[in-house]
Each structure stands twice: as C-alpha cells, then as structure tokens.
Amino acid sequence: MYAISLGDDGAELRPLEPWHAEEFLAHLDRGREFIGQYISFGSKATDVESTREMLQRYADLRAADSASLHGIWLADGRLVGGVLFLNFHADQGNCEVGCWLEPAAAGHGLITRAIRILIDFAVEQRGIHRVEWHAAAGNEKSLNVARRMGMTRDGILRQSHPHGGVRHDTEVWSVLAPEWREARAHAAHADL
C-alpha cells in the first residue's frame, strides 16, 4: 500500500486496515483519555476483535467510497494518530475530514500536514467541492487545525453532540475547492 511522507521528520501517512488491529488497539489505549475528551472515536474498540471489527467497518466504507481511515506513523514505526474521511459523497462533491492523536505526538504539526494531504486529494483527485470540519466548540486544538487549513466557520450547532454526559456545541467549518486552490497557489508563490 501507499506511504506518504509527512516531512523531514520521517513521519508517514498510511492506510489503516484490519490487519493493524493489535497496533491500533495499543495506540488507542495509549491515547484513549486524551482522544476521548471531545469524541468517542475508538471507544468501542476495547480488545483485538472489536478493534479489527472497527477497522473492517472502515475498510468496507472505503470500498463503498464513503469513508476511510489513514494512520500517522512516526519514523520509529509507532502509530500515533490519524486522519479520516467521513460522509464522503463524491457524487455530491462534499465530504468531512477529521482527526485523532495521542498526546505524545501533539504539537508537532502532524495533523496539519496529514489533513492538508487529505484535502488536496479530495479536491484535486476526487473533485470534492466542499470539505467540512466538525469540532466541539471547546476543542481549541481541533479548531486551530481548521483555522490553519484556511477554513471558514459556517456556524455552531448548539448542544448537538452528546459526549461524556454533556451536550457540546459543535462548530462547523468548511473550505471550498476554489478557496483551497487559491490558498495553495498563494502559499506556493510565497515559497518562491
């Protein structure tokens, strides 16, 4: 399968597949409390079998062209997080991207670099027109990724996300294909 470099630090973006179940479970266990602050991602993956089932579900969604998981591995071979497509609707030109990360890998730009690859792929290869980002209003780290991607805050879905016994507001951000292309061209021109 593919491995896409995330930069000079040796980190890579690779597909997450059912055969990664043991490694993915160990990663989730290392970051479960941190990841679970705002989302329930991976909360039902509690043993190798349930983890394999989760990864198989996403493999089936990938085969149906409606979602996919991509892991982030460090140069030392350790899985530390990932990014994903949710609600991928190529026929409508819309998708949502998201992320998760264990705490030891936070603050190194891994998510920003990986999300940029996903958005580039969605816009340039799949013809997606609108890419969305949904995050709990209190999740500043996630909201900062949306800002770094040049997304616009479309609005707040008040108390739309029940998690941890609390109803959280959800911020919805988006970037449109022309905006993405313009920002990428501007960044490339600035690098010259």
What is the full DSSP assignment across 34-82? HHTTT--TTTT--SHHHHHHHHHHHHHHHHTTS-EEEEEE-TTS-EEEE
What are the residues whose beta carbons fall under 8 Å from the beta carbon of 162, sequence distance 6 or more? 168
Query: Which residues of the chain fall short of a pLDDT of 70?
Result: 1, 188-192
Q: How far apart are CA 7 and CA 163, in angstroms?
A: 34
Architecture of domain 4-191: 3-Layer(aba) Sandwich (3.40)
- Give the pairing of strands 130-136 and 94-101: parallel
Which pLDDT score is estimated for 191?
Answer: 53
- Max Cα distance, the chain (Å): 50
Which pLDDT score is estimated for 82?
Answer: 94
Q: 3-43 pLDDT, tens per residue?
A: 999 988 999 999 999 999 999 999 999 988 888 777 777 77
Q: Are 137 and 168 in contact (CB under 8 A)?
A: yes
Which pLDDT score is estimated for 189?
Answer: 57
